[in-house]
Structure 1
Amino acid sequence: MVLTPMGLRFRGRLLPCAVGRGGIAADKREGDGATPVGVHRVVGLLYRADRMARPAPWARPILPGDLWCDESGHPLYNQPARAPLAASHEALRRADPLYDLVLLTDWNWPHAQPGRGSAIFLHQWRRPRYPTAGCIAFSRADLLWLAARARPGTRLLVPGALAGRLERRAAVARRE
């Protein structure tokens, strides 16, 4: 998988996508809204079993109480967690469809460095090209296609040459 200004290239297809509202950044920090530059790997696949069939044999269902810790100083920072959790976190089981299907990446994982950012996922977009908090987002159909073909260890290249280039696109999409 290679991120380009036009979308994500994978297996001969170009999938339109959205990136973080902070654009692409070589110096990713928690809360900056940026998608990090680098060579990342797919390390997990989560899905809502109450909303869709298992997208791949290695997918794990998202259960009630599944969380992702995003509190920089916490021992579970950038790790899955279970409710209740007093630390700052994201609920993986959401009312909206954004996390019905989630490919997890190895950004700042498995040994997270505090403040480097957390929860860089590939997930469904809110609407076409609408910026994320740092993830890469797709239409539901394209995400299902991607999840059926990606495997653990699949590489995701976010080129450094994109740093600073996609912020303008993110700003335009926010205004639309």
Structure 2
Amino acid sequence: MTPFDIVVTRQGARFMGRTFPCSIGRGGIVPARAKREGDGATPDGTHRIVGMLYHPARLTPPADWALPTAPSGGWSDDSADPDYNLMVRLPHGHSHERLQRPDPLYDLILITDWNWPQAEPGRGSAIFLHTWRRPRFPTAGCVAFARADLLWIARRIKHRTRLIIRR
């Protein structure tokens, strides 16, 4: 482990000497081998942060490598889609999530390498770090933070930052 790793447990997250409250999936933290699409669980293990997206109408870029989302941006969560667990352009003929939402959940997204880039169908998609709905409210499997905390983290992560999820 390095100081640049984000370590998440059921109790919260640690990063650069600070502790942050966070939310995990409604299904709890499960062994990575047991993770399935739609189970609401957060997979344990070490995951690289492979991208950062932000809503350009709501935020300035938190890092020089962050990319803006577009109204046509989506993320496939359909196991039958050849683009499963990849960013897609909307409209899209398979089930997907919109990356620009009316609520602030995806105003800032840190993308992990969970089941990416060669996704195994049904193993789970889109394990993101994003803004929570409200404190400790469970996610669909992602890790969520208060907006101010997520921004603080996003401004300090490095290309070598990993998300380490422990049961």
Structures share fold, TM-score greater than 0.5: yes
Given the alignment, which residue of 22, 27, 31 partners 1:22? 27
Alignment partner for residue 109 of structure 2, among 99, 102, 105? 102
Which amino acid is the alignment partner of residue 29 of structure 2?
A: I
Q: Deviations over 1:15-72 (max 9, x none)?
A: 1000000000111100000000111010000001100111000000011110000011
Question: Does 2:65 match 1:44?
Answer: no
Answer yes or no: is 1:155 the counterpart of 2:158. Answer: no
Matched position secondary structure for 1:128: coil
Contact 1:43 1:153 survives alignment (8 Å): no
Shift of 1:6: 2.1
Corresponding residue for 2:3?
A: none
Q: Are 2:10 and 2:24, in contact at CA under 8 Å, matched by a contact in 1?
A: no
CA distance in 1, matches of 2:74, 2:10: 31
Q: CA RMSD in A?
A: 0.8
Counterpart code for 1:80? M
Gaps (5+ residues) in structure 1? 163-176
Give 1:8's match in structure 2, choosing from 13, 16, 29: 13
Equivalent residue letter for 1:12 = G
CA distance in 1, matches of 2:114, 2:37: 12
Letter aligned with residue 136 of structure 1? V
Percent identity at matched positions? 61
TM-score (norm 1): 0.89
Structure with more helix by fraction: 1
CA shift digits 1:75-102 (9 cap, x unpaired):
1000000011110000000000000000
Instruction: Look up the SS of the partner of 1:149 in the other structure.
Output: coil
Residue 62 (structure 2) pairs with residue 55 (structure 1): yes
Count of residue pairs the alignment pairs up: 160
Match of 2:144 in 1: 137
TM-score normalized by the length of structure 2: 0.94
CA distance in 2, matches of 1:104, 1:119: 7
